[in-house]
A and B are shown apart, each in its own frame.
Chain A
Amino acid sequence: MTKLDSKIPKGPLADKWSNYKSSLRLVNPANKKKLDVIVVGSGLAGASAASSLGELGYNVKVFCFQDSPRRAHSVAAQGGINAAKNYKNDGDSVYRLFHDMIKGGDFRAREANVYRAAEVSNLVIDHFTAMGVPFARDYGGGLDTRSFGGVQVSRTFYAKGQTGQQCLLGTYSSLSRQVAKGTVTMYSRRDMLDVVIVEGKARGIIVRNLLTGEIEKYSAHAVVLATGGYGTVFYLSTLALGSNSSAAWAAHKKGALFANPSFIQIHPTSIPVLNDYQSKLTLMSESLRNDGRVWVPAQKDEKRHPNEIPEEERDYYLERRYPAFGNLVPRDVASRAAKERCDAGYGVGDTGLSVYLDFKDAINKHGKKVIEDKYGNLFEMYEKITGINPYNEPMRIYPAGHYTMGGLWVDYNLMTTIPGLFAIGESNFSDHGANRLGASSLMQCSGDGYFILPYTLSDYLADEIKTPRFSTDSEEFQQSEKQVEERIQKIMAVNGTQTVTSFHKRLGKILWDHCGMVRNAEGLKKGIEKLDALEEEFWKEVKVPGSADEFNQELEKALRVADFFEVGRLMCYDALDRDESCGAHFRDEYQTGQGEAKRNDAEYAHVSAWGYQGHKQEPQLHKEPLVFENVELKERSYK
């Protein structure tokens, strides 16, 4: 096993980043122009990195698969973005934010990275405000905040239920400004299919031009992946339909270790599955749990309309089980509690797979106007999808696949195990341990892109100023291109009888059942077997109509689904190896008497970073021990 070097700087936690930052090397302005950087992804992470790097004077190329960078899935984030501003004077601080994240992540994240994310969070809010992001304000004209799950302070900045949209559009504006200045070139409607390694360093990428089908090669001195999460592996999830793992997986196959792949957050409050044709699940923001109360009927098989069920016949199970945090327990806890009630037969709706989220008390207390001001767009969205008006009766919600804490392993510099290949935002594994706290992803993505990567990448590039621009005609580029083309030809040639989506659905179901909210060794082994069989069938039976040298949306999907088989398998291996429960990873063999996750710190206080050994080969495990010097490892309790 190779020893992973996380490159955490020495010194006291609170000083690490500032000391380290001052020690990093810089590149002088004249040299920056000669250095090319590829950024794959235009979400909050990618666009913030690209615009900052452009401002510094690097020559940046940005890629995304949508028609415009403004559509990256960050746009869909609803509830808010955290920062340790302590504007509410409620005792918040960088340390407390750090502590909440470490605890929320069930002690499976790296202290130094988390502290740094908390530290730069304040700069992020300042920067967004300066860019004209219209965050919610109070009557004094100052920024307003609200509370999110797993914490007892109010540190979440928001713009109604469209915080992600407003942050992303601000970032898109700063990216557009750099495009106009010529420091950033934008390549939309491109799917990255491979990363090119020259003499051990990442030097470029291979993409498919989605409009023409052409395979294109781009070179650079460094490559940054900001390609988001892979929750779409479950088929139904809160992610955009195009979200995928392909870029990260390509990097993994080329040698980048993949960390904690099975740490996937199942979000407790999504609109439940309503029909068989459902293609995605719509999130109802966690912020709703500020004012909404979660309950199920106290009796099984309750048939009455929710409004007719009297108070004393309702079970507010979160408030009952977790009096200290009530409806604001972290996501993993809330999701499992909902599953537990539904499995026990108390669920509501036709399928019995949902619980109520009720605003009656909040509306009575604060008035409809206040609730509408805070959540108007979410309520509307709910009504459009379900046809039910949540001002008049409770919402129905159920957990859904949402966020991948796992991702490419990176060191403190946000560099993967491939020199020159960086990973930021949701695509890396670094800051959220085994469970992410609400509103901390937007914060991490923007922190990575605006305030961290520009420093660490410059330090890397300081060694590259003498390296001339790369030609894409080299052996390595051609080799990669050939592999990509062969794979596309192979998938087109199957010419079977079943649609890509039908495979994706079945794949998602296998993972949901075997590697979802609750797992066990036997189920995981079975899951791997089923994935193997389904993958085999895919390569015999999938049908991709049309041709590869044109705009072909089925081919795009097929290439993504082909990777999901492998990602799914790695998730199962990872979950199987981790003989403990922590955060979102809940193995039913390892639970406390009260049904809470039971960690095994003696054996599993580490990051599991997996190396690719070939298709269907057992992956190789590398462990990065997690050292806790600033927080005490203890059982996570929200009671």
Chain B
Amino acid sequence: MNLKLKIWRQKNAAQKGKFETYSLQEVSPEMSFLQMLDYLNDQLIAKGDEPVHFDHDCREGICGSCGLYINGRPHGPLRNTTTCELHMREFKEGSTIVIEPWRSKSFPVIKDLVVDRTAFDKIIQAGGFVNTNTGVAQDANTTPINKIVSDRAFDAAVCVGCGACVAACKNSSAMLFVAAKVSQMAMLPQGKVEAADRVEKMVHEMDEQGFGFCSNTYGCEFDCPKGISVEFIAQMNREFFSARVCKQNHS
């Protein structure tokens, strides 16, 4: 198939970017989206141009590196699919595809389609862990955990940290990302002990990193490649307010 690509090109963080248009012939519907970009890059290099930079690594939907804003949607048109899992058979012959980086002031553009997502690491550093040291654990089966609860914790834990939720949100909110970790930990007995402290610290850091507020439009859930539910946001809100109430009662 033949395609027209409108791609955001930006040399570095300091310089302004702009869209460039490329026409690409003989794209196979069997190619993945990133293979299609590889194919474009081969041609750009052959012409002596600089290839389009984009983040990627595992190319199987699990590392969370890739993340392109395709035709106005994070990771493109298919639900529950990362950019690297998207295939060209989803596009029509002759179509124009607009490809941009994530747009959020908390994720500044580094080059072309590559953004800086260290803000997510900072949020995890603020509290996304259980305070336990190596070597102190009891036998793993000492504390039984209800299967339904543990499966639910798993559903929250599958977040790949790609940032699509932020890119999907008109407020650039990171609520779904933070809620997934807060909920996973709060549901499990190992994480419950520190649940109140954790949620406060993580939410505080989320604000520090400049992410916006949540206005319940649920774009994040719709575009999350792992299908993480906004119910976790509700759960986080409960955790957050009960943490506040607890604190007030103490003081």
Q: Which residues of A are in contact with B by a Cβ distance under 8 Å?
A: 48, 51-52, 55, 66-71, 73, 75-76, 85, 87, 123, 125-132, 134-143, 159-160, 162, 164-166, 169, 172-174, 176-177, 179-180, 186, 188, 211, 240-242, 274-275, 277-280, 282-283, 380-381, 384-385, 387, 450-451, 454, 497, 499, 501-502, 543, 545-546, 550-551, 553-554
Partner of B154, one of A76, A131, A159, A380: A159
Contact between B124 and A137, CB atoms less than 8 A apart: no
Query: Which single residue of chain B is at the shortest CB-CB distance from A177?
Result: B129
Contact between A87 and B141, CB atoms less than 8 A apart: yes
List 16 other contacts, CB 8 Å, given A67-B65, A502-B42. Answer: A55-B134, A68-B117, A68-B118, A126-B139, A127-B137, A173-B128, A173-B129, A177-B129, A241-B56, A277-B28, A279-B35, A380-B80, A384-B81, A385-B32, A499-B42, A551-B111
Given contacts A75-B63, A134-B154, whether A70 and B134 have CB atoms under 8 Å apart is no
Query: Which single residue of chain A is at the shortest CB-CB distance from B161?
Result: A70
Residues in chain A near residue B128, CB distance under 8 A: 173, 176
- Interface membership of B246, Cβ < 8 A: no
Contact between A551 and B145, CB atoms less than 8 A apart: no
Residues in chain B near residue A387, CB distance under 8 A: 87, 89
Contact between B65 and A76, CB atoms less than 8 A apart: no
Residues in chain A near residue B60, CB distance under 8 A: 76, 280, 282-283, 381
What 9 pairs across the A-B complex have the smallest Cβ distances? A141-B144, A130-B137, A173-B129, A126-B137, A129-B140, A134-B154, A240-B57, A71-B63, A180-B125
Alpha-carbon separation in the docked complex, A451 to B114 (Å): 37
Alpha-carbon separation in the docked complex, A174 to B60 (Å): 25
- Interface membership of B50, Cβ < 8 A: yes
Contact between A384 and B45, CB atoms less than 8 A apart: no
Alpha-carbon separation in the docked complex, A553 to B44 (Å): 14
- Interface membership of B85, Cβ < 8 A: yes
- Interface membership of B173, Cβ < 8 A: no
Q: In the complex, how many angstroms separate the beta carbon of A554 from the nearest chain B beta carbon?
A: 6
Partner of B130, one of A85, A126, A130, A384: A130
Partner of A137, one of B89, B117, B147, B190: B147
Q: Pull 7 A–B residue pairs with CB atoms less than 8 Å apart, ordered by A.
A: A67-B116, A75-B58, A137-B144, A142-B141, A186-B121, A277-B31, A384-B78
Alpha-carbon separation in the docked complex, A173 to B180 (Å): 14
Contact between B134 and A450, CB atoms less than 8 A apart: yes
- Interface membership of B188, Cβ < 8 A: yes
Q: Is the interface of B mostly helix, strand, loop or mixed?
A: loop
Interface size class of B (residues with CB under 8 A): 35 or more
Alpha-carbon separation in the docked complex, A139 to B147 (Å): 6
Contact between A501 and B136, CB atoms less than 8 A apart: no
Query: Which single residue of chain A is at the shortest CB-CB distance from B188?
Result: A132
Identify which of residues 121-174 in chain B touch chain A, using a CB-to-CB cut-off of 8 Å.
121, 124-126, 128-141, 143-147, 150-151, 153-154, 157-158, 160-161
Contact between B157 and A126, CB atoms less than 8 A apart: no
Contact between B190 and A67, CB atoms less than 8 A apart: no
Alpha-carbon separation in the docked complex, A129 to B39 (Å): 44
Contact between B135 and A277, CB atoms less than 8 A apart: no
Alpha-carbon separation in the docked complex, A380 to B80 (Å): 10
Contact between B140 and A126, CB atoms less than 8 A apart: yes
Contact between B57 and A132, CB atoms less than 8 A apart: no
Contact between B144 and A162, CB atoms less than 8 A apart: no
Contact between B114 and A551, CB atoms less than 8 A apart: yes
Contact between B59 and A501, CB atoms less than 8 A apart: no
Contact between A76 and B137, CB atoms less than 8 A apart: no
Alpha-carbon separation in the docked complex, A142 to B142 (Å): 8
- Interface membership of B185, Cβ < 8 A: yes
Partner of B12, one of A130, A280, A551: A551
Alpha-carbon separation in the docked complex, A188 to B63 (Å): 15
Q: In the complex, how many angstroms separate the beta carbon of B64 from the nearest chain A beta carbon?
A: 6
Alpha-carbon separation in the docked complex, A180 to B198 (Å): 13
Contact between B34 and A384, CB atoms less than 8 A apart: no
Residues in chain A near residue B120, CB distance under 8 A: 68
Residues in chain B near residue A127, CB distance under 8 A: 132, 134-135, 137
Contact between B110 and A211, CB atoms less than 8 A apart: yes
Alpha-carbon separation in the docked complex, A55 to B134 (Å): 8
Residues in chain A near residue B30, CB distance under 8 A: 274-275
Which of the listed residues A68, A134, A162, A387 has the most CB atoms from chain B within 10 Å of its own CB? A134
Residues in chain A near residue B51, CB distance under 8 A: 545, 553-554
Contact between A76 and B63, CB atoms less than 8 A apart: yes
Partner of B134, one of A52, A159, A166: A52
Partner of B50, one of A51, A138, A545: A545
Q: In the complex, how many angstroms separate the beta carbon of A406 from the nearest chain B beta carbon?
A: 22
Q: In the complex, how many angstroms separate the beta carbon of B6 from the nearest chain A beta carbon?
A: 21
Alpha-carbon separation in the docked complex, A240 to B49 (Å): 26
Contact between A451 and B161, CB atoms less than 8 A apart: no
Residues in chain B near residue A173, CB distance under 8 A: 124, 128-130
Query: Which single residue of chain B is at the shortest CB-CB distance from A71?
Result: B63
Alpha-carbon separation in the docked complex, A282 to B135 (Å): 35
Residues in chain B near residue A165, CB distance under 8 A: 62, 158, 160
Query: Which single residue of chain B is at the shortest CB-CB distance from A276?
Result: B28
Partner of A141, one of B11, B35, B146, B185: B146
Query: Which single residue of chain A is at the shortest CB-CB distance from B57?
Result: A240
Q: In the complex, how many angstroms separate the beta carbon of A616 from the nearest chain B beta carbon?
A: 28
Alpha-carbon separation in the docked complex, A330 to B117 (Å): 40
Residues in chain B near residue A51, CB distance under 8 A: 134
Alpha-carbon separation in the docked complex, A76 to B39 (Å): 25
Given contacts A126-B139, A126-B140, whether A131 and B129 have CB atoms under 8 Å apart is yes
Contact between B65 and A554, CB atoms less than 8 A apart: no
Partner of B63, one of A73, A179, A279: A73
Given contacts A240-B63, A387-B89, A551-B12, whether A66 and B57 have CB atoms under 8 Å apart is yes
Residues in chain B near residue A76, CB distance under 8 A: 58, 60, 62-63
Partner of A384, one of B64, B85, B114, B129: B85
Contact between B110 and A551, CB atoms less than 8 A apart: yes
Alpha-carbon separation in the docked complex, A136 to B85 (Å): 25
Contact between B61 and A241, CB atoms less than 8 A apart: no
Alpha-carbon separation in the docked complex, A162 to B63 (Å): 11
Alpha-carbon separation in the docked complex, A186 to B120 (Å): 14
Alpha-carbon separation in the docked complex, A164 to B85 (Å): 19
Given contacts A166-B157, A545-B49, A551-B111, whether A132 and B130 have CB atoms under 8 Å apart is yes
Residues in chain B near residue A143, CB distance under 8 A: 140-141
Which of the listed residues B28, B137, B191 has the most CB atoms from chain A within 10 Å of its own CB? B137
Alpha-carbon separation in the docked complex, A279 to B84 (Å): 11
- Interface membership of B53, Cβ < 8 A: yes
Contact between B48 and A545, CB atoms less than 8 A apart: yes
Query: Which single residue of chain B is at the shortest CB-CB distance from A550?
Result: B12
Q: In the complex, how many angstroms separate the beta carbon of A281 from the nearest chain B beta carbon?
A: 9
Contact between B28 and A275, CB atoms less than 8 A apart: yes
Alpha-carbon separation in the docked complex, A75 to B159 (Å): 12
Annotate B39-79 by CB proximity to A: 1 below 8 A, 0 otherwise.
Answer: 10010111011110101111111111100000000000010
Given contacts A67-B65, A126-B140, A545-B48, whether A134 and B157 have CB atoms under 8 Å apart is yes
Q: In the complex, how many angstroms separate the beta carbon of B134 from the nearest chain A beta carbon?
A: 4
Which of the listed residues A125, A130, A169, A381 has the most CB atoms from chain B within 10 Å of its own CB? A130
Q: In the complex, how many angstroms separate the beta carbon of A184 from the nearest chain B beta carbon?
A: 10
Query: Which single residue of chain A is at the shortest CB-CB distance from B42?
Result: A499
Q: In the complex, how many angstroms separate the beta carbon of B128 from the nearest chain A beta carbon?
A: 6
Alpha-carbon separation in the docked complex, A278 to B150 (Å): 37
- Interface membership of B106, Cβ < 8 A: no
Contact between B185 and A132, CB atoms less than 8 A apart: yes
Contact between B65 and A499, CB atoms less than 8 A apart: no
- Interface membership of B104, Cβ < 8 A: no
Residues in chain B near residue A75, CB distance under 8 A: 58, 62-64, 160
Alpha-carbon separation in the docked complex, A173 to B185 (Å): 11
Residues in chain A near residue B185, CB distance under 8 A: 132
Q: In the complex, how many angstroms separate the beta carbon of B184 from the nearest chain A beta carbon?
A: 7
Q: In the complex, how many angstroms separate the beta carbon of A98 from the nearest chain B beta carbon?
A: 20
Residues in chain A near residue B135, CB distance under 8 A: 123, 127, 450-451
